[in-house]
């Protein structure tokens, strides 16, 4: 959430920056609410001053044994108006807060301007896509050929956009997650966490999924309990990991906080009907190893580069060609101020597909969560939060199956992954 003082002081400049990411700030609406707020606050101050003055008069009249009934009636009337003003002011504050909650983050000055993904900027490439002397299969055909990937059973159990894996493929899926966790914890210094998969509305508000993206979420209820309807299945473990510092003041000595977790992720994909309906690319349920860092504001852009490297390391260990793309203003996520996407090569599509996004949110989430740090006895300041996929397990499996497929339908297992597969070098039917 943006600091409301920034809008009050520089609303035209804020609107111009938001325009570069395709968001039209309701400047007139905000200004109208601000005028109402100031009017009510000024009237409240006048009424409080009048009441104080009249209260003194009541004291004088009573001390002189004179009737104060008329003055007391005036004070009572002022009290009623103050109550009405308080209700009106609260209503305006709710409207202002709702407006603020729906405004995306401001893009960093280094972010290229653009309307959509076609104007993202490629930063680098690693690895060379392989050439094959046989007809390339997609991951669905490979998995089904192995007898280990079963979408029919998944559909019977849950419906479309779910998967069911068996045998070596299920083990390979688990091995990928374990390699990612071990690399992030043992090489890059993150603390592994086990988190709830269902969180409350405050957690979703804190990281920016609510209120804007409610239709993309799965939410749960139990036994007719209305309060339970405010519980949500996590679309990423960024939410529970980042919210660990909600309503907290962290000692500066405890920074940076580096957290990782392997969790399932649940997304209704309400806004992506018809996209990637075949296979594992876009599922309602998928696994991901998430990276979160909570840092001093002066360190956040240095940290962003580090986290990009932490995600890249996994792709290198898996021997997968990829490229790094900096997102333009029009393609960044709601809470991000700067984002890198890692896109892995998918042979069956002859293109690169996103497998990780690494973003700096600066103080945007911290403002919503009231997550702060303190230096000594100084006034608390807002933290900066960053998050990134390290990596999406299902998409890593897609890339591995396709890039390492062999003519006989088997799949070569990368050297770094073989210890997690009991030394097996090839996945066969």
Mean of the pLDDT values across residues 371-387?
96
* Closest C-alpha to 380, from 390, 391, 389, 369: 369
What is the Cα–Cα distance from 304 to 12, expressed in whole angstroms? 29
**Mean pLDDT for all residues in the chain:** 95
- Report the predicted TM-score, pTM, of the whole model to 2 decimal places: 0.93
Dump pLDDT digits (tens) for 305-324: 999 999 999 999 999 999 99
CATH T-level topology, domain 26-101: Helix Hairpins (1.10.287)
97 is in an annotated binding site: no
Determine if residue 115 is left, alpha or beta; phi over 0 gives left, psi from -120 to 50 gives alpha, anything else beta.
alpha
Secondary structure (3-state) at 25: coil
pLDDT at 276: 76
Give, to the nearest 10 degrees, the angle between helix 167-182 and helix 393-403.
120
Dump pLDDT digits (tens) for 354-367: 999 999 999 999 99
Any idea what the Cα angle at residue 261 is, between residues 414 and 193, rounded to 5°?
A: 130
Whether residue 211 has a cis bond before it, omega within 30° of 0 = yes
Dump pLDDT digits (tens) for 61-112: 888 888 988 888 998 999 999 999 999 999 999 999 999 999 999 999 999 9
* Closest C-alpha to 334, from 290, 288, 271: 271
* Closest C-alpha to 413, from 319, 304, 341: 319
300 is in an annotated binding site: no
CA distances, 29 to each of 6, 81, 90, 95, 103 (Å): 16, 26, 17, 10, 13
pLDDT at 75: 87
354 is in an annotated binding site: yes
237 is in an annotated binding site: yes
Burial of 289 (0-12, 13-18, 19+ CB in 10 A): buried
Residue 224 has pLDDT above 70, yes or no: no
Listed in order, strand segments (DSSP E) in 361-419 are: 371-374, 381-382, 384-392, 411-412
Can you list the alpha helix ranges (DSSP code H) found in 318-386? 364-369
49 is in an annotated binding site: no
Residue 293 has pLDDT above 80, yes or no: yes
Tell me the two tokens of residue 199: 């969180």
378 is in an annotated binding site: no
* Residues of the chain by 3-state class (helix, strand, coil), percent to 5: 45, 20, 35
Mean of the pLDDT values across residues 223-230?
64
How many residues would you count in the chain? 429
422 is in an annotated binding site: no
Give the start-to-end residue ranges of the domains of the chain: 26-101, 117-427
248 is in an annotated binding site: no
Radius of gyration of the chain (CA): 27
Mean of the pLDDT values across residues 239-264?
98
Mean of the pLDDT values across residues 191-201?
97
Tell me the two tokens of residue 37: 């707020």
Dump pLDDT digits (tens) for 270-280: 656 666 778 99
The dotted CATH code for 117-427 is 3.30.930.10
pLDDT at 274: 62
Fold match between domain 26-101 and domain 117-427: no
């Amino acid at each position: 959430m943006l600091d409301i003082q920034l809008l009050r002081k520089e609303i035209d400049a804020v609107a111009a920056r938001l325009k570069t990411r395709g968001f039209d700030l309701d400047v007139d609406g905000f200004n109208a609410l601000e005028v109402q707020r100031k009017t009510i606050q000024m009237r409240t101050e006048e009424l409080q001053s009048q009441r104080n003055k009249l209260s003194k008069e009541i004291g004088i009249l009573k001390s002189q044994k004179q009737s104060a009934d008329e003055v007391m009636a005036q004070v009572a009337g002022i009290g009623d108006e103050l109550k009405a003003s308080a209700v009106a002011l609260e209503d305006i504050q709710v409207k202002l807060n709702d407006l603020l909650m729906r405004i995306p983050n401001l893009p960093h000055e280094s972010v290229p301007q653009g309307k959509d993904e076609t104007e993202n900027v490629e930063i680098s490439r690693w690895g060379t896509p392989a050439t094959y002397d046989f007809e390339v299969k997609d991951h669905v055909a490979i998995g089904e050929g192995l007898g280990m990937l079963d979408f029919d059973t998944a559909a019977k159990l849950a419906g479309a956009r779910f998967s069911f894996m068996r045998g070596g493929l299920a083990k390979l899926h688990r091995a990928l997650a374990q390699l990612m966790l071990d690399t992030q914890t043992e090489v890059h210094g993150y603390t592994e966490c086990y988190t709830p998969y269902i969180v409350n509305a405050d957690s979703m508000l804190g990281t920016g999924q609510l209120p804007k993206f409610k239709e993309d979420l799965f939410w749960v209820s139990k036994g007719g309990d209305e309060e339970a309807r405010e519980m949500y299945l996590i679309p990423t473990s960024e939410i529970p990991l980042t919210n660990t510092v909600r309503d907290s003041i962290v000692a500066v000595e405890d920074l940076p906080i580096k957290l990782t977790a392997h969790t399932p992720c649940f997304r209704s994909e309400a806004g992506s009907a018809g996209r990637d309906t075949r296979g594992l690319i876009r599922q309602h349920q998928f696994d991901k190893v998430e990276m979160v860092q909570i840092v001093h504001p002066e360190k956040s852009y240095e940290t962003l580069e580090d986290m990009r490297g932490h995600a890249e390391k996994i792709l290198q260990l898996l021997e997968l060609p990829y490229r790094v793309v900096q997102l333009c203003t029009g393609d960044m996520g709601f809470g991000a101020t700067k984002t890198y996407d890692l896109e892995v090569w998918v042979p069956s599509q002859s293109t690169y597909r996103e497998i990780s996004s690494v973003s700096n949110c600066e103080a945007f989430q911290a403002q919503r969560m009231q997550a702060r740090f303190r230096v000594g006895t100084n006034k608390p300041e807002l933290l900066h939060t960053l998050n990134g996929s390290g990596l999406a397990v299902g998409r890593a499996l897609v890339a591995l199956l396709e890039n390492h497929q062999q003519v006989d339908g088997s799949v070569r297992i990368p050297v770094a992954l073989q210890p997690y597969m009991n030394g097996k070098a090839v996945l066969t039917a």
